[in-house]
């Protein structure tokens, strides 16, 4: 039984740990065993703190239950500072770098009893140049980016939970490609102190797990909002399908997932309605690109000016493009985003959430790029809570799903409806 502990959900593991039916040491050893057997193929980790994790687990086993995440091993995206493990931000520039303090969210989850098992691979400064990670569902396919190592580690049962972050689509896309649940909270819900900044107006910390209750547990511990774990639905949710202005980018597999969801909703007694976004939203995709590239060129000014030779050609090109975005363009993009955020509630109408594409389709069969973030950019710009649901398969058998999007600040509603939908989509 112990060798299978790593395959259990975080919520089930939490129950067993609190009851002392299993020990934190047993769980950590099970995760380390899985890493030992699969890491050479998957490449999810930059650093594994095996001895420190076992020492921490022993302390937890010998003391009182510490918090919501008592004894749960967690993967820490290598964009998040850790004082006791290297933090490289996916770049050779920071090889061996040891910050003086943990990121706030790492400290907060440690305070809740979590065990930081190690640092998971991120793309170069969480942009688009891939790291070494492969998709555990099929090793010739990308795991997505930039939270590639975190998604792969969770999908491959190396850890039940892992930190992620999103500036364009870096929580939702790797969750979609690896077939797990990804939760990008409302902008600003999670403290970002100690996480390498890319864009102050877009960066959002998120959570990866294998079920909606698991990401809700993780988020509750990270934010202190226990209401995020209350997933009971008292009445049939009000859900709309939203193809978005980016729908032409969707391939057959994502289109099939939307049709499958429509059938499941109808079967569950939910009126299947299409939510059409305002025409002004068609400009948000370019606005997000302009804001992200403008901010990135400035956030990475030190690296650009003093370590340009250590940056990948792709990142140098991206930074150069950011310097070409004028201040007038940047301000216009932010004005459009501000106006659109004020229109979201009216656009949702009577619906609590919308279901929309997470990615173009299956994970591309390449390790040279991380896939197109087209279906995440606009929702990130709007700052809305998003939950990816992995319920379908594409033409070649790789995972496909959709994301649930809620109104700003209504993360509890988004998670509740996501849990309700996931149950029906998987069991239809």
| Distance of alpha carbon 285 from alpha carbon 382, whole angstroms | 11
| Distance of alpha carbon 126 from alpha carbon 203, whole angstroms | 11
264 catalytic residue (yes or no): no
In the block, tokens 């790789």 appear at: 398
Name the active-site residue from 146, 165, 358, 392: 146
| Distance of alpha carbon 395 from alpha carbon 365, whole angstroms | 13
77 catalytic residue (yes or no): yes
Q: Which two tokens stand for residue 154?
A: 């969770």
| Distance of alpha carbon 332 from alpha carbon 334, whole angstroms | 5
293: number of Cβ within 10 Å: 21
| Distance of alpha carbon 184 from alpha carbon 165, whole angstroms | 8
- Would you tell me the crossing angle of helices 327-341 and 284-299 to the nearest 10 degrees? 130
Name the active-site residue from 77, 184, 196, 289: 77
Q: Which two tokens stand for residue 11?
A: 């919520």
The residues facing 401 across adjacent strands are 390
Name the active-site residue from 14, 23, 148, 170: 170
184 catalytic residue (yes or no): no
Instruction: Convert the chain into a string of H (helix), E (strand) and C (coil).
Output: CHHHHHHCCHHHHHHHHHCCCCCHHHHHHHHHHHHHHHHHHHCCEEEECHHHHHHHHHHHHHCCCCCCCCCCEEEEECCECCCCCCCCCCCHHHCCCCCCCCCHHHHHHHHCCCEEEEEECCCHHHCCCCCCCCCCCCCCCCCCCCCHHHHHHHHCCCCCEEEEEECCCCCHHHHHHHCCEEEECCCCCCCCCCECCCCCCCCEEEEEECCHHHHHHHHHHHHCCHHHHCCCCCCCCCEEECCCCCHHHCCHHHHHHHHHHHHHHHHCCCCCEECCCCHHHHHHHHHHHHHHHHHHHHHCHHHHHHCHHHCCHHHHHHHHHHHHCCHHHHHHHHHHHHHHHCCHHHHHCCCCEEEEECCCCCCCCCCCCCCCCHHHHHHHHHCCCEEEEEEEECCCCCEEEEEEEECCCCHHHHHHHHHHHHHHHHHC
What residues are annotated to the active site?
77, 146, 170
């Amino acid at each position: 039984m112990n060798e299978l502990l790593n395959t259990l959900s975080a919520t089930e593991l939490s129950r067993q740990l609190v009851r002392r039916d299993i020990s934190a040491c047993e769980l950590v050893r099970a995760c380390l065993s899985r890493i030992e057997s699969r890491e050479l193929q998957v490449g999810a980790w930059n650093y594994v703190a095996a001895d420190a994790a076992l020492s921490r687990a022993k302390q937890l086993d010998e003391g009182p239950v510490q918090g919501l995440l008592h004894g749960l091993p967690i993967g820490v995206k290598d964009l998040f500072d850790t004082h006791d493990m290297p933090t490289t931000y996916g770049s050779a520039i920071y090889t061996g770098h040891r910050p003086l303090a943990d990121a706030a969210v790492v400290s907060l989850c440690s305070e809740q009893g979590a065990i930081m098992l190690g640092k998971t691979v991120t793309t170069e400064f969480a942009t688009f140049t891939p790291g070494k990670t492969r998709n555990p569902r099929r090793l010739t396919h990308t795991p997505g980016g930039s939270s590639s190592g975190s998604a792969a580690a969770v999908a491959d049962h190396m850890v039940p939970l892992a930190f992620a972050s999103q500036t364009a689509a870096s929580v939702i896309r790797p969750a979609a490609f690896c077939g797990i649940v990804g939760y990008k909270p409302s902008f600003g819900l999670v403290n970002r102190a100690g996480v390498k900044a890319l864009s102050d107006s877009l960066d959002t910390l998120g959570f990866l797990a294998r079920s909606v209750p698991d990401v809700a547990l993780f988020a509750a511990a990270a934010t202190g909002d226990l209401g995020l774990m209350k997933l009971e639905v008292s009445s049939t949710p009000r859900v709309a399908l939203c193809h978005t202005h980016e729908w032409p980018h969707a391939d057959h597999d994502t289109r099939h997932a939307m049709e499958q969801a429509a059938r499941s909703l109808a079967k569950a007694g939910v009126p299947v309605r299409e939510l059409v976004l305002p025409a002004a939203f068609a400009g948000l995709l370019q606005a997000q690109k302009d804001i992200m590239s403008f901010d990135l060129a400035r956030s990475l000014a030190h690296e650009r000016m003093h370590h340009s030779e250590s940056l990948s050609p792709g990142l140098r090109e991206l930074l150069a493009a950011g310097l070409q975005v004028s201040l007038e363009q940047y301000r216009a993009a932010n004005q459009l985003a501000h106006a659109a955020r004020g229109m979201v509630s009216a656009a949702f109408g009577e619906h609590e959430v919308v279901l929309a594409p997470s990615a173009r389709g299956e994970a591309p069969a390449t390790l040279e790029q991380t896939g197109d973030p087209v279906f995440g950019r606009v929702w990130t710009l709007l700052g809305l809570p998003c939950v990816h649901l992995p319920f379908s398969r594409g033409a070649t058998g790789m995972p496909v799903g959709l994301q649930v999007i809620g109104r700003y600040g209504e993360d509890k509603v988004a998670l509740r409806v996501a849990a309700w939908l996931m149950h029906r989509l998987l069991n239809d």
